[in-house]
Amino acid sequence: MHALRILLRLFSSLQLTIACLIAAMVLVFVGTIDQVNLGIHAAQAKYFHSFVVWWEFPESHLRLPVFPGGFLLGGVLIVNLLAAHFTRFKLSAGKSGIVLIHLGIILLLVGELVTGLFQVESQLRLSEGETKRFSESWRSVELVLIDRSDPEVDRVWRIDEAALIGGGTFRQPDFPVDIVVRRFLPNSRVFRRPPGELPPEAVTAGRGLGRNLFATELPRTGKIDERDISTAEVELVTPEGSLGTWMACNAFDEVQPIEIDGRTFHLEMRQRRYYKPFSLHLLEFTHDRYPGTDIPANFSSRVRLHNPATREDRSILIYMNHPLRYDGLTFYQAGYDDDDTTSILQVVRNPGRHLPYIASSLVTLGLVVQFLMHFHRFGKRRRAGK
C-alpha cells in the first residue's frame, strides 16, 4: 500500500512532467539531426515511433538501450497527466483552461500513436491516358506468382514482405507448386555473376532472369528519395520434386515466365500493391512555371474517378494544396516524371486523422482561456497598483 502511494506520488509529480518535456526536447533534437544520416523515415522509426532508442555498435549485433523513445515518453506523459489530475488538481473554474489543455495534449499523443500504428502511405504513378486500380508502397515489396493461363482473368498469389522475411515454404490451393523462400534480402545490390567464387552469403538462381546474376545484402535505406532493391532466392517445388531456383527482384524490368504442367506463370518481386474498389484515369498533367523562370507555379492532375459499385464517374482536379479525398484516402500531388507526362500522387490512409483536429482545438481553447484569465488578473492588479 505504501509502495503504491510512493509510486502514485512519483507518477503525479511535476518534476516528472518537466523531466519528460526536457527528455522530449533532447529526443526531438537528436532525432532531427540524425535525419541527415538516416533519412526522415528511418529516423522517425528509430526515435519517435519506438519505445526505446537503441545504440548499435558498428560492425556487430550488440545494441544497448540509451534513451526512451517517443512511444515511451508519450506514454509516461499521459500517465503523468492523468495521475496529476486525479491526485493533485481540484476541479474549479480557475483550472478549466488547464484541464482542457491537458486533455487535448493526451488526445494529441494518442493521435500520433494511432497514426504511427495504422497510417498507410503509398504512391500512385499514372502516365497520361493510363488507368489504375491500385497504389504501390514505396517501402515494402511483395512476391507474386501469377497464373496467366486464363486469357480473361489472372489469378495472383501474393506473399508479403513480413512473410518473406520469415522465409519457409508457402502453399496455396489451386497452384500446382509450393514456393520455398530460401533467402530474402530486403535491400541488396545485384551484380553480374563472375565465373569464379561468389561471396558465401550471395543470393543466386539456377534458372530464369537471375541465372547470370548474384545479389549481396545492403542495409535498408530510410531516405525519402531512395528505394530498397529487394531480392529473393525462390525454389519452386511440385509433388514430383524441385523445378529449380529463381531470383526475384524488384529492379527487374522484364517478366519472368515459368511453364508448369503446360500453364504459364509469372514470378515477380514488386512494390506492395494496395487495390482499391475504384479506378483513377489520368486525363492530363500540367506543370506551370512562372514566365521566364524555372520556378514551379503549379502542378495539377486532371483525373477521372470511376467506381463501379456506386456508379460514380467524374473528373477531378488534384493540385497543390487541393488533394482528392475519397473512400478514407487522401491523394495529393507529390511529383512528376517523364517530361511532365507522368503524375505521381501520394496516397495516404490514416484512420486517426481527425484526432489532432479535436485535440488541438481543445488545447488552443484551453490556452486562450488561461491566457485571458491571466490577462484579466494582470489588468486588475495593475489598476489596483496605481
Partner 1 sequence: MKRWLPAAVVLLAALWIISVQLRPDSPTPFDLKEFGKIPVLVGGRIKPLDTVARTSLMVIHGKQVLRTRDDGRMEAIAWLAELMMRPDLADHREVFLIHDPDLSAWFAGTDDSRKTFSFAEIHPHFEEIQRQAARAAEIDVQLRNRFERAVVRLHSAISLYARLKHSLHDGLFPDMAAEVGAYASVLRPGMQALNRRQAGQDYDEASFEALIRFADRYRTLDQAGYFFPVPHGPPDSTDWRKAGMSLLESLHTGSIDPGMKRIAEIVTAYRFDDPERFNQAVAEHLTAVEDSHPQRASRASAESFFNHLSPFYKSMVLYVGVFLLACASWLVWPRTLAQSALWLATLAFVLHTSGIIFRMWLEGRPPVTNLYSSAVFVGWGSALLGLLLERWYRNGIGACTVAAVGFCTLLVAHHLSGDGDTMEMLRAVLDSNFWLATHVVVITMGYAATFLAGFLGIIFVFRGVFSTTLAPEVATALSRMIYGVLCFALLFSFAGTVLGGIWADQSWGRFWGWDPKENGALLIVLWIAAILHARWGGYIRMRGLANMAIFGNIVTSWSWFGTNMLGIGLHSYGFMEQAFLWLALFMLSQLAIIAIGCLPSRLWRSRLPGA
- For partner 1, the binding residues (CB under 8 A) are 14-15, 17-18, 21-22, 24-25, 28-29, 31-33, 35-36, 39-40, 43-44, 48, 111-112, 115, 119, 121, 224, 289-293, 295-299, 320-323, 330-332, 334, 346-348, 350, 353, 356-357, 360, 363-364, 367-368, 370-371, 374, 378, 382
- Min. distance of Cβ 29 from partner 1 in angstroms? 6
Distance between CA atoms of residues 223 and 55, nearest Å: 20
Distance between CA atoms of residues 99 and 374, nearest Å: 16
Residues 215 and 188 sit within 8 Å (Cβ to Cβ): yes
Listed in sequence order, the residues at least 6 apart from 326 whose beta carbon sits closer than 8 Å to its beta carbon are 278, 305
Q: Which of 314, 386 has the CB closer to partner 1?
A: 386
Q: Which of 310, 364 has the CB closer to partner 1?
A: 364
- Min. distance of Cβ 250 from partner 1 in angstroms? 25
Residues 252 and 230 sit within 8 Å (Cβ to Cβ): no
Helix (DSSP H) and strand (DSSP E) numbers for the chain? 8, 18
- Min. distance of Cβ 85 from partner 1 in angstroms? 14
* Strand, coil or helix: 185: strand
- Min. distance of Cβ 205 from partner 1 in angstroms? 37
Q: Which of 18, 66 has the CB closer to partner 1?
A: 18
Residues 347 and 124 sit within 8 Å (Cβ to Cβ): yes
- Min. distance of Cβ 19 from partner 1 in angstroms? 9
- Min. distance of Cβ 111 from partner 1 in angstroms? 7
Distance between CA atoms of residues 119 and 41, nearest Å: 13
Q: Which of 63, 377 has the CB closer to partner 1?
A: 377
Q: Whose grid coordinates read 517445388?
A: 237
- Pairing state between β 231-238 and 178-185: antiparallel
Please count the other Cβ atoms lying within 10 Å of the Cβ belonging to residue 90.
Answer: 7
344: which 3 cell numbers?
505521381
Q: Which of 4, 295 has the CB closer to partner 1?
A: 295
- Min. distance of Cβ 5 from partner 1 in angstroms? 20
Q: Which of 251, 367 has the CB closer to partner 1?
A: 367
Q: Which of 17, 216 has the CB closer to partner 1?
A: 17
Task: Name which of 336, 349, 227 is nearest 284 in CA terms.
Answer: 336
- What would the DSSP string read from start to end of 218-255? -PPP--TT-----EEEEEEEETTEEEEEEEEETT--S-
